[in-house]
Structure 1
Amino acid sequence: MSVTASSTNAPAPAAGQAAPDPRARGVVRLLPPAERHLVSRFSYGITPELARRVRAAGGAARWFEQQLSPGSVRDPQADAVAGWFPSLRRGPAELWRRQVQDVEGGWEVMEDYARWLLVRRTRTRRPVLEMMTELWENLLHVPASGDEQFTHRVDYGATIRRHALGRYDELLVAAITHPAMLIHLDAAESTKEHPNENLGRELLELHTVGVGQYTEDDVRDSARILTGWSVDLWESWRPEYHREEHHVGRVRVKGFVDANRSDDGRAVTRRYLRYLAHHPQTARRVAQRLAVKFVGDRPPASLVDRLARVYLEHDTAIKPVLRALVASSAFARSAGAKVRDPGEDVVATYRVLGKSISRPPSGEARGRSAAEAILWQASSIGTSPYAWPAPDGQPIDSASWSSPSRLLASMRFHLDLAGGWWPDVAVGHREPRQWLPRPEVRFDDLVDHVSRLVLHRPASDRLVEACSRATGVGRRERVDAEHPLVQWMFPTFLAVFLDSPAHLSR
């Protein structure tokens, strides 16, 4: 059986803290289906707390518009997580020194970077910014590994975050000239006598116009334009510009032509990158990527054309494109059509179960903490944030995450977390009896209550039947805190919801 999306969307609990006791809420208020679709698609899962914030904003459309101005939304619980991992605030020279002195390896820093990202996603009140940062960080991919680029990788992520809801031309300039990108694709050591073509090629193939849309002559001049940009890889690890290493002379890449007379090539680099960002083929690739991420693996060509036009008409600004996307009929029809990738599954499951993650302790207990375990849990399903080794970044299509092996890995993770067996340090659990809406409740009513909490929808007859078969409890059987379901079968019961298409899709 493979992971397949259905018309059911999954959700999650409070942002950054254990969800309130369900008994205190009575009947869980649900968003209308269309609003549920929008919020589910642009968040890491709907929880009762998130639904309350959506209603407080005046509905899903207004909530989404608020999310497009993330500075207006305070996010202290997510922001606080960076303080748990001190090396994320260290400078590149210090990070390198600690590695060569065997104090802390770069791979350890990057694992903490991935943990920080996963934990902040369980807490954030700015899910649209978080998802867009993730989307661009995978498109303009610099693996969170590598013996040199790790020194600048945290700042690279922060740079992407600053531009994630801005203009793509500005994002492209910031990313391509960033020291992490220069180191990763060998441009930091490129010279006018020996231009390294790696970054010049991937810029065309992955970041802008796409495969088959350029020639080898384009690649050579692309590499020449980028000469001069460098990083001191020996002492300071600071970004530098070496005018004496910039290739001077006429360059031509596709329709971009420049005399390139100055030995300071920074201006021509910016002109070139902005030209590529505004190219119609780049517009289509950006539009296609957004449509695949938020609509489906094979979005209608008419939608991609429309989004590309909006992108160009608004000077590569991203917000108007997102507004056009969510207003489209294709988006409205796509409910349940996107499978959660491993990271999304892990984050949503923590949120749905009301797991509160605390700062990890030092010493041996750290290995059993939620902040530590969450990285291994994502890896066990498929991959952890930015661990993808190739320059093309982690896949964003549903098909890549719809194999039987992925489904089985998710099911193992769901049962472990539902049981509270691991992690068992620095994590808050909701006890089985806390899921009961009343001291005694009929089983089918309990299924409906949990469905509203976990899946943000009423329980279907099929879901009630699945829960009954999994636990052996009859539909009309009365359940209280002493019932065997609550005493020892509750992890299996919760896993039915977590293993459903409604939770595995968004």
Structure 2
Amino acid sequence: MTTEAPTRRHALRLAGGATAAGIAATTAALPAEAMPKSRRVSFRPGRYPPTRVLRAPARHLVNRFSYGITPALAAEVQAAGGHLAWFDRQLATAYDGSADNLCDWWPDLHRDAVDLWSRTQGGVRGGWEVMWDYGNRTMMRRMTSPRQVLEVMTEFWENHFHVATNSDNIFVFRIEYGEMVRAHALGRFDDLLQATVLHPAMLMFLGAATSTKAHPNENLGRELLELHTVGIGNYGEEDVKNSARILTGNRVDLYKTWAASYVPKDHWTGPVQVMGFQHDNADQDGRAVTAAYLSYLAHHPATARRIATKLVRAFVSDTVPASLVDRLAAVYLANDTAIVPVLKALVRSPEFKSAVDKKVRDADEDVLATYRILGVGVKKPRTDASAANQVYWQTAMIGLAPLTWPRPDGQPVDNASWSSPSRALASMSFHWDMVNGWWPGDAVAFPRPRSWMPRARPMEFRDLVDHLSRRLLQRPSSKALLKACCQAAEIRPDTRVSRSSAVFTKVWPRVVATVLDSPAFYQR
């Protein structure tokens, strides 16, 4: 047996390459010097059925609508009577208040706009620090919440109605905005649209907080059409101008009282037409026309198709089947813009069922799934170095801190955006830190290597790899994965290991990192 540690790059080639795109596995064998020449090596995958896994359709749905399948979550799915029953139960009980106060460890997140601004101006705490707290709490909620579907859909809508947390002084309203989106995440799109577009955070982000009848700011009026509802190609420039005119009157007293109000004298009056919507708009108080206009957009067939398209791209495939979009748009309109019936139809569609492993985990999901499936326990933070204060930074190191995408269109959800070599290398580095328990190192509990051994008596290494694959990937091991793990551990697949074996005392991080760096981990 060679004494030189194998490179992780070689081991990953054996596993099929660790790019997020999930390149097909190679058939490369172990180096000749790594095994005795007198013994032929069989890389027949082991089988350890006592470690149960969800069947492929269940793994597929739960992976798409959670942040990593833990043994506890798998048991919950089975106890519910299957993945569809679990999903329906999550939809029915998602916003019942039971997950509201999870990891509520950052007191600044409960301060109002005036207090936050005053503390920033007084040098007590900067707005960017408050938003960092918000990012950490967002990640911790996703990591720990029993309402996984709620957190997933909150992320979806915060991305659709994107308000960047690092936008200038948005921090005074961004926490409240996120809570509002969460409360509407599984309700009616009409209600969500009304609440988001007129929220102070959105008004500030897109320049409508100071829009007046004399000088209507067109940013929000345009993005409302282009990004939030009907999409490009369904409106013209005059529609944008009238959209902006309708929205005038909604104001925020910036840098003073921070009060959000409606100011009738700032509302533009006169006939308006946006696509098929017409109104005489004669009343100086334009709130009624605004509500009617937003409801018109929410119920527009083009909006139905746009929402259906975005849901399919996020949860089914980058290649959006037009037939599925048509069916989901019809469900949306038939149910008065309610989201839950659309989601139920989506996960029961043949297109969804045939899209197993077709999506790639982004940086958020990578970090969260790693914490969850490794069983890393995060405790209440004590210092800046505590895990709960580092998880957001860890995500940023892979490619993008959540909620910070600078443009109003929300961060990309397509595979290509998260399949670069630099992302793969950043993920490998993160996984290596985590399996070694190196970072974060405060207010966190990492599982001990020997705790992964499923039973006291010795077992073949190939069966241990299968156990790991089932625990971490929710699927039996493959020949390619076994080869890679043998290379990483410098061990034969038929070697018998126990809790006292060198596998657990010397090379365990290499084995676990090889599993996490395999293509199957990046797939969801």
The alignment's TM-score, normalised by the length of structure 1, stands at 0.93
1:454 maps onto 2:477 in alignment: no
In structure 1, what is the Cα distance between the partners aligned to 2:170 and 2:268? 24
User: Which residue among 245, 253, 268 is the counterpart of 1:232?
Assistant: 253
In structure 1, what is the Cα distance between the partners aligned to 2:98 and 2:267? 43
Q: Give the structure 1 partner of residue 217 of structure 2.
A: 196
The 5-angstrom pairing of residues 230-309 of structure 1 reads: 230-309=251-330
In structure 1, what is the Cα distance between the partners aligned to 2:94 and 2:394? 31
Q: Give the structure 2 partner of residue 105 of structure 1.
A: 126
In structure 2, what is the Cα distance between the partners aligned to 1:33 and 1:410? 25
Q: Is contact 1:67-1:128 (8 Å) kept?
A: yes
In the alignment, residue 423 of structure 1 is paired with which amino acid?
A: P
Deviations 1:454-478 (A, max 9, x none): 1111112221111111221110112
In structure 1, what is the Cα distance between the partners aligned to 2:109 and 2:401? 17
Give the Å deviation of 1:482.
3.1
Are the structure 2 counterparts of residues 186 and 380 from structure 1 closer, same or farther at C-alpha, using a change threshold of 3 Å? same
Q: Give the structure 1 partner of residue 482 of structure 2.
A: 464
Q: Give the structure 2 partner of residue 479 of structure 1.
A: 497
Give the Å deviation of 1:70.
2.6
Q: Give the structure 2 partner of residue 67 of structure 1.
A: 90
1:117 maps onto 2:118 in alignment: no
In the alignment, residue 277 of structure 1 is paired with which amino acid?
A: A
- Of the structure 1 ranges 88-97 and 210-219, higher mean CA displacement relative to structure 2 is found in 210-219
Q: Is contact 1:169-1:274 (8 Å) kept?
A: yes
The 5-angstrom pairing of residues 305-344 of structure 1 reads: 305-344=326-365
SS in 1 for 2:390: helix
Q: Give the structure 1 partner of residue 410 of structure 2.
A: 393
In structure 2, what is the Cα distance between the partners aligned to 1:120 and 1:376? 16
In structure 1, what is the Cα distance between the partners aligned to 2:507 and 2:256? 59
Query: Any gaps of 5 or more consecutive residues in structure 1?
Result: 9-24
In the alignment, residue 300 of structure 2 is paired with which amino acid?
A: H
Give the Å deviation of 1:404.
1.1
In structure 2, what is the Cα distance between the partners aligned to 1:72 and 1:86? 22
Give the Å deviation of 1:71.
4.6
Deviations 1:294-349 (A, max 9, x none): 10101211111111111111111111111111111110000101101100100000
Deviations 1:199-243 (A, max 9, x none): 011111111111232211111111100000011113321211100
Q: Give the structure 1 partner of residue 80 of structure 2.
A: 57
Are the structure 2 counterparts of residues 313 and 217 from structure 1 closer, same or farther at C-alpha, using a change threshold of 3 Å? same
- % identical aligned pairs: 52
Query: Any gaps of 5 or more consecutive residues in structure 2?
Result: 1-16, 26-47
In structure 2, what is the Cα distance between the partners aligned to 1:30 and 1:40? 13
Q: Give the structure 2 partner of residue 150 of structure 1.
A: 171
SS in 2 for 1:55: helix
SS in 2 for 1:68: helix
Are the structure 2 counterparts of residues 28 and 79 from structure 1 closer, same or farther at C-alpha, using a change threshold of 3 Å? farther
In structure 1, what is the Cα distance between the partners aligned to 2:316 and 2:442? 38
In structure 2, what is the Cα distance between the partners aligned to 1:74 and 1:270? 28
Based on CA coordinates, which of the two structures has the bigger radius of gyration? Answer: 2
Q: Is contact 2:154-2:182 (8 Å) kept?
A: yes
- Of the structure 1 ranges 143-152 and 296-305, higher mean CA displacement relative to structure 2 is found in 143-152
User: How many residue pairs were aligned?
Assistant: 484
1:205 maps onto 2:223 in alignment: no
SS in 1 for 2:102: helix
User: Which residue among 372, 376, 379 is the counterpart of 2:393?
Assistant: 376
Are the structure 2 counterparts of residues 198 and 131 from structure 1 closer, same or farther at C-alpha, using a change threshold of 3 Å? same
In structure 1, what is the Cα distance between the partners aligned to 2:496 and 2:510? 18
Are the structure 2 counterparts of residues 279 and 41 from structure 1 closer, same or farther at C-alpha, using a change threshold of 3 Å? same
Q: Is contact 1:30-1:456 (8 Å) kept?
A: yes
Q: Is contact 2:95-2:150 (8 Å) kept?
A: no
SS in 2 for 1:134: helix
The alignment's TM-score, normalised by the length of structure 2, stands at 0.90
User: Which residue among 507, 511, 518 is the counterpart of 1:489?
Assistant: 507
The 5-angstrom pairing of residues 343-382 of structure 1 reads: 343-361=364-382, 366-382=383-399
In structure 2, what is the Cα distance between the partners aligned to 1:168 and 1:140? 11
1:427 maps onto 2:434 in alignment: no
Q: Give the structure 2 partner of residue 20 of structure 1.
A: none
In the alignment, residue 320 of structure 1 is paired with which amino acid?
A: P
- Of the structure 1 ranges 350-359 and 471-480, higher mean CA displacement relative to structure 2 is found in 471-480
Q: CA RMSD in A?
A: 1.7
Deviations 1:114-159 (A, max 9, x none): 0001111111111111111100100100001223221010110111
Are the structure 2 counterparts of residues 160 and 398 from structure 1 closer, same or farther at C-alpha, using a change threshold of 3 Å? same
Deviations 1:414-464 (A, max 9, x none): 111011011111001101111111232210111011111111111122211
Are the structure 2 counterparts of residues 72 and 243 from structure 1 closer, same or farther at C-alpha, using a change threshold of 3 Å? closer
Q: Is contact 1:70-1:129 (8 Å) kept?
A: no
SS in 1 for 2:63: helix
Q: Is contact 1:248-1:260 (8 Å) kept?
A: yes
